[in-house]
Chain A
Amino acid sequence: MKVEASSSGHNMQPLLKVENLVKRYAKPSLADAREELLALNGVSFSIFPGTTLAVVGESGSGKSTLAACLACLESPTIGSIWYEGQDLVKLREPARRLVRPKLQLIFQDPASSLNPRWSVLEILLEPMVLQRNFSRKDNFTRQEMNERANSLLERVGLSPDIVRRPPTELSGGQRQRLAIARALALEPKLLILDEALSALDCSVQAQIANLLMELQNSQGMTYVFITHDLAMAAYLADEIAVMDGGRIVEQGAPEKILKLPQQETTRQLLAAVPRIARSAPPSVEQ
């Protein structure tokens, strides 16, 4: 359980403010009729710097769509995402490109988020190469880029002699560390972790979670932690938001959510948690 109360962040400005995000998909189904899918149905929240917001929900609740929108990989149909005074949704790509490195997404499957034909070094260098292509002032030399790659590896606890290897030769935990290292390449302020621990073994999950905590403590990293695992969320988060059907149905501090779940959804998620993880049995009657 997180020791720090979330109140410490309230005196500062939110890092990210999401207002009424709506995402509508026109899904062509087998029968060729246009079906509309409302993946996000009015999501609003704020995140404060140095904190972790966990977004918990079942599959289909809209979590991944939210992650994609936050990372600017998808555009919401309606809504705003405020970051440092700018609405990311309304930004045009050249300007948005400058902001992108600050909001990075870590994917669920470490195998598919790293190009198997590339080497570790190439994967780490990619953000810097891309940045170099965009802005004149961030002109890294080869030397600088290699050095930074090595220091990134160190920071996530990987040995520098894997640089020439392809990611297929790494374990799941190592790959996820590499994905985190890549995300850190251009000094992001916010990491969006889309089920980033779900595909890992339990012990590896703990290791990566600790790495993330350490990064937060030392650098003040902010996280949006998306998961279906309420126990993991309670362990890591300062605030939990429960999603269902594209909206946030309940939000609050972890203790509150775990002890006094208001919504049916929350209760079902809670019921899925093994007894050992809970601090107290949930109260059924209100």
Chain B
Amino acid sequence: MRYLLRRIGHAIFLLAGVSLLTFLFTALAPGTYLDEMRLNPQIAPETVAALRAQYGLDKPLPVRYVDWLNSVLHGEMGFSFAYNSPVAPLLLVRARNTLLLTITATLLAWAIALPLGVWSAERLGRLPDRLLSWGTAALMVIPDLALALGLLLFAVRSGWFPSGGMASLDMETLSALSTLRDLAWHMVLPVTALVLTALPLLVRHVRAAVAEVLHTPFLLAAVGHGIPRHTLLYRYALAAAANPLISLFGFSIGALLSGSLLIEVVMSWPGLGPLLLEAILSRDLYVVVGGILFSTIFLVGGNFLADLLLYWADPRIRTQSGVR
């Protein structure tokens, strides 16, 4: 229990720290922003002055941070100049789309990596394992960008998959089931791209972790007891290798989030990635900050989930925090 509290405290600390960091980034270039806005003919000088006063840009830094944090905690994340609307609702929709992609990809990637890794660890050093190693190596050396573009090229040339976006144009007219199918059809390429970029590293690490466990005395003893192979592999070996794998899980979430940025942009998936890019190119300050914050929330949340999993999976953690 104490472990969980510690992890919650840690997560809060991370979020607070990140919010401070991102805020500092924005504060480091305030002049540039407003100056650029002043140069922009579309924005009236009164608006600039009003914004300056409204966002308290003449107040000292700590005050500004506290104000900003306060408003964020109330769900107010500023105003987007490009979209001419408050930032929070904009982010929420995009965040949902990104989550959809990232969570699906994570689950799929692990669902493939675990059996593959275990299978490979069983046959360590033999031909099937070596072939798989080469396969993962081949996948690893293709740059993520090239992979995404390649899939896109394939989609366009074959016509089997849509070349981008999240929904077809006639989405409104479709029934619920068809909408779902349409969504899935649009998801295939970006999810594939994400899974393929994450898979090699996951498979390698699962393989390494399981291989280490397979040669321990306790597992050999289990073999001696006549426990069936399938149970052995999954309930014994995998459980023993759970510790590093759960940490890997936390790490994979971060990697997939980062990867999703690029892939969303390439495949025109309406998630946080393209929004962030647009905001950067149009100097839409609060959208950028909000986007960073959201992605960090997901990452920290994912890692916290991993901590929870660890707590559940590893009895040593439960007892250690109880012992004094």
Contacts and interface: CB of A to CB of B under 8 A. Distances in A.
Interface in B147-167: none
Nearest to A31: B324
Contacts of B324: 31, 33
Instruction: Indicate the size class of the contact surface on chain A.
Output: under 10
A30 interface: yes
Nearest to B323: A31
Interface of B: 320, 323-324
Contacts of B323: 31
A31 B323 CA distance: 8
Nearest to B6: A32
A31 to B, nearest CB: 5
4 contacts: A30-B320, A31-B323, A31-B324, A33-B324
Contacts of A31: 323-324
A33 B324 CA distance: 9
A35 to B, nearest CB: 11
B278 to A, nearest CB: 46
A30 B317 CA distance: 12
Contacts of B320: 30
A235 B320 CA distance: 47
Interface string A20-45: 00000000001101000000000000
Contacts of A33: 324
Contacts, number: 4
Interface in A246-276: none
A31 B321 CA distance: 7
Contacts of A30: 320
A277 to B, nearest CB: 40
Q: Is the interface of A mostly helix, strand, loop or mixed?
A: loop
A107 to B, nearest CB: 33
A33 B323 CA distance: 12
Cβ-closest 4 pairs across A and B: A31-B324, A30-B320, A31-B323, A33-B324
Nearest to B2: A31
A21 B324 CA distance: 31
Interface in A1-60: 30-31, 33
A33 to B, nearest CB: 8
A236 to B, nearest CB: 44
Interface string A178-221: 00000000000000000000000000000000000000000000
B2 to A, nearest CB: 9
B259 to A, nearest CB: 37
B258 to A, nearest CB: 33
Nearest to A29: B324
A178 B143 CA distance: 53
Nearest to B320: A30
A271 B324 CA distance: 36
A150 to B, nearest CB: 49
Interface string A91-134: 00000000000000000000000000000000000000000000
A56 to B, nearest CB: 35
A30 B2 CA distance: 13
A76 B324 CA distance: 29
A33 B320 CA distance: 14
A31 B322 CA distance: 9
B322 to A, nearest CB: 10
A30 B324 CA distance: 8
A163 B283 CA distance: 66
A74 to B, nearest CB: 29
A195 B324 CA distance: 34
Nearest to A33: B324
B266 to A, nearest CB: 47
A33 B2 CA distance: 14
Nearest to B321: A31
A30 B320 CA distance: 9
A69 to B, nearest CB: 32
B310 to A, nearest CB: 17
Nearest to B324: A31
A162 B324 CA distance: 52
B317 to A, nearest CB: 12
A189 B113 CA distance: 65
B276 to A, nearest CB: 39
Nearest to A30: B320
A121 B324 CA distance: 50
B39 to A, nearest CB: 55
A159 B323 CA distance: 56
A8 B305 CA distance: 73
A17 to B, nearest CB: 43
A251 B253 CA distance: 64
